[in-house]
Amino acid sequence: MLLDNIRLSVRNLRHRPKRSWLTILGILIGVAAVIALVSLGQGMQRSITQEFEAFGYNVVMIAGHGGHHLGMGAMLGTYDFQLDLAPLQKISGVEAVGGVLVKTPYISAGRREGYLLTWGMAPELMQAFGNYYKPELGRALNPGETQTAVLGSNVAQDLGLSVGDKFVIETLEFEVVGLLERRADPDVNYAIMVPIATLQELVGERNRFSLVMIRTAQHGHAGHDAASIAKEVRRMVTEQRGKDDLNVHTTGEMLDLMQNLVGILQAALGGIAAISLLVGGVGVMNTMYTAVLERTREIGVMKAVGARRRHILWLFLLESGFMGLIGGVLGALTGLLIAVGIKFSAPLFISGTQLEVGFSPGLMLGVLSFSFVLGALSGFFPARDAAKLPPVEALRYE
Amino acid sequence: MIQLKNAHKIYPMGEISVQALRGLDLTIKPGEFVAIMGPSGSGKSTLMHLLGCLDLPSDGLVQLDGQDVTKLDEDTLAQIRGKKIGFVFQTFNLIPTLTAQENVELPLFFQGVPRRERSARSVELLRKVGLNDRIHHKPAQLSGGERQRVAIARALANDPEIILADEPTGNLDSESGEAILKLLEQLNRESKTIILVTHNPEAAAYAHRIVRIKDGRLLEEVFNNTNKGVAYAAR
């Protein structure tokens, strides 16, 4: 019986194709917007999590105040600072301590030249975070080296350099020994990484750091250890400097912060998209009221030949539910296409952007059933009106 | 058998109310062919609605096969209509989106008849009304006479005892109209009760009894024993 009801409903939709499609379009736009935004948001969340997984959750970072921005080059403070790292090494649970100094010295590689982002990094540190600063070609920096460099994938391409090539920073010549795997963080992809001692010497900033990273035990697990070590680090740093002017955070905290930010962003955008979905529902309701009005006489005839209220109710509910469902299916596909389109076109407008599209079957299923229910709900009041029409009045309707 | 006892119908129209029926008694026995005639505004349509269980009287009694229908709810009435009464309208009132066969299947569908059975029954009925080659046509592809025959097939779907035809020839040329009346006459011979609402005397002449109403009251009843020969019975 349901099957026959469905056939009847589809027949009615096809009878007024233009209006049906326009109504469906309203739902489609709403669903597409929600799917596109949520997929991109989920992709963003997933890639952030992946980055932190590669980096480890149990890393304590010290940086100058301010200058937070998303990504793993994060926490690069607005100013560099002086710090004696030796005492930090002695805290129990600390596996590796190393500093990073970020500068933009003058680089020249053949005919290409400019002031480029350069990370002075302790080779030990790069090896300790080998999962994150992972050479795709060649190798990482080795302790004891002075004039070697590892390049991020973008800067290597821009400078036209590969493993074995030589280039100049200020006055010193460096040899490229490795190219890093692509990461989500543009600060890494555009980084020229050289031994920190050499860079400190070059720019005359001995013992100064932009960032200090401390890897603690139980690498890769979120836990209280990193947090208590961070507390100890903060105490020591404050004592050493005589003031509490540096940020000390764990990567676990940073992950939470970023996940929260992305979550809020996603909720806000999703909310706006949901409004368009709601407008689509109003469109369905409008169409259904018109349909009931148009088919009043038909409703009267059906009642005359034995249709009960629930027959009429179902007929219209299925009709509006279908519009919702079709809009949902097409909208989901369109939304995914839009998300994938944004993923591929975003780097053309903002170079270095890397977006992921998170496809989740759960979301799809949820949106599809939601759009069916939205359609049916929007159709409910018109359908109930139709079902309640007295047969004589409906028959007399011109 | 349908019985109306002292049926009143009052329509509230804003401040005033219109009395469409003012105490009407009428009994229609099984197998009768009755024509109901009257000028417009006589209460003819209201009477038809009551006979068809489409509406209930404001006062008085309507009995269908001995059952008082005035106490029943809308859904029960719908079921009774679907099973016991077949409607034929002046404007055919076919569902434009459905084929001839699907239109005929509709009353069966509402009674919960399984699909296979519906399909067989509808084809049989369309053959009976002479439309075997129009089964899959939509109403728009059919002539007026053909549409009315689909409507009659639809009215017969659940094998009701009563066919209620409201001006069935009103929108047809005389030839098609006559064919429709002949079809109703044939159905009557097959023991269906036919109630024909019309103001066309030629159409009414097919009936065995002509009921005239005026101002919501029964004016006179005319018995017609031989076809098209008229005999008056004083009231």
DSSP string, B75-93: HHHHHHHHHHEEEE-TT--
Of residues A94 and B102, more confidence is placed in B102
Contact yes or no for B61/B20 (Cβ under 8 A) = no
**B110 to chain A, minimum CA–CA distance in Å?**
5
Query: How is residue A231 written in tokens?
Result: 């507390």
∠ CA A62-A66-A70 to the nearest 5 degrees? 80
The predicted model gives A276-300 an average pLDDT of: 91
Tell me the percentage of chain A whose pLDDT exceeds 70: 93
Rounded Cα–Cα distance for residues A280 and B85 (Å)? 42
Tell me the percentage of chain A whose pLDDT exceeds 90: 30
Residue B232 has pLDDT above 50, yes or no: no
- Measured between beta carbons, the chain A residues lying within 8 angstroms of B95 are 298, 301-302
Which residue of B55, B94, B96 is in closest CB contact with A392?
Answer: B55
Closest chain A residue by Cα to residue B107: A305
Residue B197 has pLDDT above 90, yes or no: yes
- Measured between beta carbons, the chain B residues lying within 8 angstroms of A4 are 109, 115
Domain count, chain B: 1
What pLDDT does A77 receive?
52
Q: Looking at the domain assignment, is residue B161 inside a domain?
A: yes
Half-sphere exposure of A120 (CA within 13 A, CB side): 25
The predicted model gives B161-184 an average pLDDT of: 93
Q: Looking at the domain assignment, is residue B93 inside a domain?
A: yes
Cβ–Cβ gap B52/A11 under 8 Å: no
∠ CA B151-B44-B12 to the nearest 5 degrees? 110
Query: How is residue A92 written in tokens?
Result: 């129990």
Rounded Cα–Cα distance for residues B96 and B103 (Å)? 9
Cβ–Cβ gap A15/B96 under 8 Å: yes
Q: Looking at the domain assignment, is residue B135 inside a domain?
A: yes
The predicted model gives A53-68 an average pLDDT of: 76
Residue B28 has pLDDT above 90, yes or no: yes
Q: Looking at the domain assignment, is residue B16 inside a domain?
A: no
- Taking only the tens place, the pLDDT of each residue in A232-263 is 898 998 888 888 888 888 888 888 888 888 88
Q: Looking at the domain assignment, is residue B117 inside a domain?
A: yes
What pLDDT does B77 receive?
93
What pLDDT does A76 receive?
52
Residue A102 has pLDDT above 80, yes or no: yes
Residue B117 has pLDDT above 90, yes or no: yes
Of residues A76 and B200, more confidence is placed in B200
Q: Looking at the domain assignment, is residue B190 inside a domain?
A: yes
Cβ–Cβ gap A303/B79 under 8 Å: no
Residue A224 has pLDDT above 70, yes or no: no
Instruction: Print burial letters for B109-139: b (CB count within 10 Å at least 16), e (below 16).
Output: bbeebeeeebbebbbebbebbebeebbebbb
- Measured between beta carbons, the chain A residues lying within 8 angstroms of B94 are 301
Rounded Cα–Cα distance for residues A367 and A29 (Å)? 13
- Taking only the tens place, the pLDDT of each residue in A333-385 is 999 999 899 888 877 776 656 677 877 888 888 888 888 888 988 999 999 99
The predicted model gives A33-46 an average pLDDT of: 85
What pLDDT does B226 receive?
57
Cβ–Cβ gap B110/A298 under 8 Å: no
Rounded Cα–Cα distance for residues B15 and A88 (Å)? 95
Query: How is residue A56 written in tokens?
Result: 């480890």
Mean pLDDT: which of A125-134, A222-231, A251-260, B151-160 is highest? B151-160
Range scoring the smallest mean pLDDT among A240-244, A284-288, B158-162: A240-244
Q: Which structural domain, as residue segments, surrounds residue B218?
A: 30-43+73-232
Rounded Cα–Cα distance for residues A178 and A149 (Å)? 7
Cβ–Cβ gap A308/B111 under 8 Å: no
DSSP letter, residue A182:
P
The predicted model gives B130-146 an average pLDDT of: 94
Q: Looking at the domain assignment, is residue B113 inside a domain?
A: yes
Residue A45 has pLDDT above 90, yes or no: no
What pLDDT does B10 receive?
92
The predicted model gives A261-275 an average pLDDT of: 87
Residue A78 has pLDDT above 70, yes or no: no
- Measured between beta carbons, the chain A residues lying within 8 angstroms of B12 are none
Mean pLDDT of chain A: 85
Residue B100 has pLDDT above 90, yes or no: yes
Q: What is the CATH number of the domain that holds B85?
A: 3.40.50.300
Mean pLDDT of chain B: 91
> ipTM value of the model?
0.90
| Amino acid sitting at position A195 | P
Interface test with B, best of A10, A297, A305 (most B CBs within 10 A): A305
What pLDDT does A74 receive?
46
Closest chain B residue by Cα to residue A14: B97
What pLDDT does A68 receive?
44
- Measured between beta carbons, the chain A residues lying within 8 angstroms of B154 are 305
Element (H, E) at B191: none
Interface test with A, best of B9, B45, B75, B162 (most A CBs within 10 A): B75
The predicted model gives A111-130 an average pLDDT of: 89
The predicted model gives A1-20 an average pLDDT of: 80
pLDDT band at B88 (very low <50, low <70, confident <90, very high): very high
The predicted model gives A114-141 an average pLDDT of: 89
- Taking only the tens place, the pLDDT of each residue in A133-182 is 889 999 999 998 999 999 998 899 999 999 999 999 998 999 999 999 88
What pLDDT does B151 receive?
96
Closest chain A residue by Cα to residue B103: A302
The residues near A240 (Cβ < 8 Å, ≥ 6 apart) are A83, A84, A87
Closest chain A residue by Cα to residue B111: A306
Q: Looking at the domain assignment, is residue B9 inside a domain?
A: no
Phi-psi region of B34 (alpha: psi -120 to 50; beta: other; left: phi over 0): beta
pLDDT band at B134 (very low <50, low <70, confident <90, very high): very high
Tell me the percentage of chain B whose pLDDT exceeds 90: 81
Cβ–Cβ gap A391/B54 under 8 Å: yes
| CB-defined contacts A:B, below 8 A | 70
The predicted model gives A197-207 an average pLDDT of: 87
Cβ–Cβ gap B115/A4 under 8 Å: yes
What pLDDT does A242 receive?
86
**A9 to chain B, minimum CA–CA distance in Å?**
10
- Taking only the tens place, the pLDDT of each residue in B40-63 is 888 888 999 999 999 999 999 999
Cβ–Cβ gap B55/A391 under 8 Å: yes
What pLDDT does B230 receive?
44
The predicted model gives A24-37 an average pLDDT of: 91
